[in-house]
Amino acid sequence: MKKANTDFEILPILASRWSPRVFTNDVIKEEELRTMFEAGRWAASSNNLQPWLIIWGIKGTSAFDRIFDCLDEFNQSWAKNAQALFLGGYKKTNDDGKESFHALHDLGLFMGNVSAQAQHMDIALHQMAGVDYKKAMSEFNVPDNYHIATGIAVGYYGGDIEKLPEDLQEEETKTRSRKNQNSFTFNGDFNENIFKGE
């Protein structure tokens, strides 16, 4: 486990969360996924619209393979280690057809809850931007007023890093780091130079 070296004391479940690219061979069960989705279901949502959508598959099923085929080549090189895969999406419009400006934010809150619940269950998530969203939308019959935003690899912590391509093995063991708070929190006017680290 790679615990974050935090500047302030935070919840242990958050400090210990990280995004591996290799997982154990322990099977993820549907009940475990449903528990994570239930945590997501209770996330805050603008106007309670709950615009999130999750497409999921467990390794060894057609749904897993179809999601895997929508990932870019880089992510396929390691996501084959996952025991489950998700696609995370959202409805782009409200019920009245107007643009839903907060839908992506709501999906993020949903996944934040899912991530915390998974961590509580010793399950790791790795979210991915490298998804061919047009292919995914076509593959899973998702209408145009929705958007597939991310892919998510799921499995138990503790996999064998030898299963990864050599260039990713070093990434897997690197110390975790984050920007300093002062670069993105402003008690007053925003300063882009500070934000950029200049």
Q: Which residues of 53-86 are buried (b: 16+ CB within 10 A; e: fewer)?
A: bbbbbbbeeebbebbbebbeeebeebbebbbbbb
Largest CA distance in the chain: 52
- What was the pLDDT predicted at 72? 97
Q: Structural domains in the chain?
A: 17-160 (3.40.109.10)
Q: Is the pLDDT of residue 111 over 80?
A: yes
Q: Summarize the confidence of residues 114-118 as an average pLDDT.
A: 98
Q: Is the pLDDT of residue 113 over 80?
A: yes
**Average pLDDT over the chain, rounded to an integer:** 95
Q: Is the pLDDT of residue 167 over 90?
A: no
**Dist. CA 85–CA 57, nearest whole Å:** 6
Q: What is the identity of the amino acid at 187?
A: N
Tens-digit pLDDT profile for residues 70-98: 999 999 999 999 999 999 999 999 988 89
- What was the pLDDT predicted at 1? 66
